[in-house]
Amino acid sequence: IAGASSNSAGRGLWSSRWVFFLAATGSAVGLGNIWKFPYITGQNGGGAFVLVYLACILAIGIPLLMTEVMIGRRGRANPEGAIAALAREARASRHWRWLGTLVVLTGFLILSFYTVIAGWAVAYTPTAMSGGFSGLNGESSGALFGAMLANPWKLAGYGTLVLLLTLAIVAFGVRGGLERSLRFLMPGLFVLLLVLVGYAATTGHFMQAVHFLFDADFSKLSGQGVLVALGHAFFTLSLASGAMMAYGSYLPAGTSIARTALMVALADTGVALLAGLAIFPLVFANGLEPGAGPGLIFVTLPIAFGQMPLGQMIGGLFFIMLAIAALTSAISLSEPTIAWLTEKFGISRLKAVLASGITLWLLSLGTVLSFNAWSEVTLLGKTFFDSLDFLTTNLLMPLGGLATVLFAGWALSRKLVQESIGIDQPQLFALWWQALRVVTPLGILVVFLHSLGLF
Ligand code: PFF
Ligand code: NA
């Protein structure tokens, strides 16, 4: 693993808690915050959706994040191996290992479309730097984005580039490479977003955006929207897809999981809200549709870059940073599969990378074609990409998350969990334990049943 040193067991360990924090934040902060959060917020009516999303982060996401890191660290193996080891230790059913397989598969499927979307950011970088955004308005910006989507070769090319970069880093990862790139990336991204929010404030539509994002009108939120909010809480925190378990498995013993998890969730939520505050003023100022869908940031931001001073440089930097943020998330998405393949089947890291790389590449073509040649090929009204996104984020992630909290809260003993989680104050642990056993599973169930229209 990049940024790790080897221990006696041959598995690497992060060199410090700080590096783990960087890696986990690098995993969490990505396309989910900047590309997905604004567009699904727009599609689901704004404020009420944001409120439910924040509640899901707090009541479900954070306890689950701690649980996953704990499982990884205690099990010291890939997700399936770690869960199997803990189940054995707790004399629980052997079948829990299937949960590990499920989350590995979820991460793998997400990665297959994640690299394609990251390719959009890469494709926009040279356009931004060469002044290709100057003079854009809502219509022409939409046309520019549409022209990119219509070109499967371009989408496949950039998507393949991102996939190759991800796999190369995962296969040959230089020690500390992840750490070095994250050191400037996270603060840089934050500053750029602040600049964009500042610019958005000059459009005259800032308050409209604030109202859109924070006035909760529940009549605009459907049952399906509630499920999307829950799914996104998982997606944005990299949960139920093996990433946090895999990264936890490289975490040195004795560091506070709780504090680190809180910091990761805070950084992730901060970036998402900043992205919302940067995008929606532009949406309203340019007469665009909040519910326009996956192209939202790729249509709105170029208009702003085309108008603001230093827009070529700021725009170029922004898309590079977005691509790097996506890359660090993609690396974390691949790690569970690679660790699973190497540890379960005893093959080399390079072989694991090649085998998964070929499969990922083929799957990614399905996403590429969803936006052009196959855009009319739908199942229940969803394209290949929509189906994959829905299956992973709204079905597999909530199910995997539910099973994970049930495993930790009910199949493992309180003593084992208390030992491994490292929350020292007994009252605080008791609170977290109840959240894990009761609040989190009930919360997930309620959202599921609600989305099915049961109440
Ligand atoms: N959390 C990432 C984002 O918000 O872009 C996406 C992601 C990374 C999801 C890793 C799942 C995962 F395992
Ligand atoms: Na995120």
Rounded CA separation 230/138 (Å): 31
What interface predicted TM-score (ipTM) does this complex get? 0.99
The full set of domain ranges for the chain reads: 4-451
Q: Region 206-220: what's the mean pLDDT? A: 97
The response to whether residue 42 sits with its C-beta less than 6 Å from ligand 1 reads: no
Q: Cα separations (Å) of 166 from 125, 236, 317, 330, 427?
A: 18, 19, 20, 6, 42
pTM: 0.95
Pairing mode, strands 12-14 and 4-6? antiparallel
Structure tokens at 379: 């199942």
The response to whether residue 402 sits with its C-beta less than 6 Å from ligand 1 reads: no
Q: How far is the CA of 203 from the centre of ligand 1 (A)?
A: 31
Starting from the CA of residue 392, give the closest ligand. Answer: 1
* Fold annotation for 4-451: Amino acid/polyamine transporter I (1.20.1740)
The response to whether residue 23 sits with its C-beta less than 6 Å from ligand 1 reads: no
Q: Which atom of ligand 1 is nearest to the CA of 326?
A: 5
Q: Region 121-149: what's the mean pLDDT? A: 97
Q: Residue 179 has what pLDDT?
A: 67
Q: Residue 6 has what pLDDT?
A: 46
Structure tokens at 356: 């998964």
pLDDT band at 19 (very low <50, low <70, confident <90, very high): confident
Q: Residue 2 has what pLDDT?
A: 43
Closest-CA residue to 441 (of 414, 401, 412)? 401
What does the pLDDT look like over 78-113, one tens digit per residue? 999 999 999 999 999 999 999 999 999 999 999 999
Query: Which residue's alpha carbon is at the smallest distance from atom 10 of ligand 1?
Result: 238
Q: Residue 97 has what pLDDT?
A: 97
Q: Residue 310 has what pLDDT?
A: 93
pLDDT band at 173 (very low <50, low <70, confident <90, very high): low
Residue by residue, DSSP assigns 378-445 as: -BTTB-HHHHHHIIIIIIIHHHHHHHHHHIIIIIS-HHHHHHHH---SHHHHHHHHHIIIIIHHHHHH
pLDDT band at 10 (very low <50, low <70, confident <90, very high): low
Choose between 46 and 173: higher pLDDT. Answer: 46
Rounded CA separation 67/94 (Å): 19
Starting from the CA of residue 106, give the closest ligand. Answer: 1
